[in-house]
Amino acid sequence: MDLTGKTVLVTGASSGIGKAIAIALAQKRAQVLVHYGKNKAGAEETLAVVAKVSGGSLHQADLMDPEQIAALFAGIKKTTRTIDVLVNNAGDSRAGEIGDDDVWDYQYRNIFLSAVQVSREFIALPAAGLRKIINITSIYGNLFGGEPDYLQYSAFKAALASLSTTLNKSSAPDVIVNAIAPGYTQTPAWAGAPKDVIEACARATAIGRFVRADEVAHAAVFIAENDALVGQVITLDGGTSLVGTA
């Protein structure tokens, strides 16, 4: 897929991985729809960078609310005929044990159901050619990679990874779905984390450092441009899975 002039929607694009992906796609001359939930200032910063090399617009919605998802797409359809690439990046993590029902509910809606509902709206849009979905999962969602302190997050990232493969059986060749499973990635989410924790996570990689958000963004561009890649989950973790400490 030549991204020049294509329209892409990146959810959770106000900071971190989402921001980096939005900017990288704009550098390929795609028109970027910058979604945010609460961080409007961050989204405006992303759009300002996007606007220097391409075009785009801001779109707000709480993706845990199906009505707001419907309103998001209704608003987009007023000015945009279709969306060529969807990047499901929005979501955060909460620690929890198996008995924490509130965490199960939150992570289900925040990580998995939101991506399902956004994808459903995306697939329903009119289209004249190939379109793509890129889901951002996690090494915690990889087989044997789950983090017991983040049980629910791990489980629903695994579900999102499964969706990224299985959905192709009904959506391809019209819509191709893939995923990226980042490892420990340098984003604002780590701000305030204890120094010893950050150092331990860096040591848990084979490269001795965190993955950069722009490195994840480069993988997203590769997936968007490569039409032969179907139903794959690309692990980008600096070798953490090889080290065996994920």
The number of distinct structural domains making up the chain is: 1
Question: Considering the domain boundaries, does residue 2 fall inside one?
Answer: no
Take residue 101 and report the two structure tokens written for it: 């029902």
- Residue 66 one-letter amino acid: P
Beta bridge pairs of residue 35: 59
Residues belonging to the active site: 153
Average pLDDT of span 67-71:
98
Q: Name the token pair of 23.
A: 């900017």
Instruction: Tell me the residue range of the domain where 211 lies.
Output: 7-243
In a domain, 117, yes or no: yes
Q: d(Cα 206, Cα 209) in Å, to the nearest integer?
A: 8
Residue recorded with tokens 């993988």? 219
Q: Kindly report the CATH number assigned to the domain that includes residue 134.
A: 3.40.50.720
Find, among 136, 118, 120, the residue nearest to 62 by Cα: 118
Mean pLDDT on 70-79 = 96
Residue 47 lies in a domain: yes
Terminal Cα distance for the chain, rounded: 33
Question: Looking at the domain assignment, is residue 91 inside a domain?
Answer: yes
Provide the pLDDT for residue 128: 83
Residues linked to residue 134 through DSSP beta bridges, in sequence order: 87, 178
Residue type, 215: E
pLDDT given for residue 244 in this prediction: 64
C-beta separation of 141 from 157 below 8 A: yes
Instruction: Tell me whether residue 202 is in a domain.
Output: yes
CA angle 90, 214, 125 (to 5 degrees): 45
* Residue 1 forms part of a structural domain: no
Predicted pLDDT of residue 74:
97
> What percentage of the chain reaches a pLDDT higher than 70?
99
Token digits of residue 164: 């990224």
In a domain, 70, yes or no: yes
Sign of torsion over alpha carbons 227, 80, 170, 62: positive
Q: Is residue 194 part of a domain?
A: yes
Average pLDDT, the chain: 96
Measured distance CA(16)–CA(161) in Å, rounded: 20
Residue 132 confidence class, pLDDT cut points 50, 70, 90: very high
| Beta strand ranges found along 50-106 (DSSP E) | 56-60, 85-88
Highest mean pLDDT among 70-74, 143-147, 184-188, 241-245: 70-74
pLDDT higher than threshold 70 for residue 210: yes
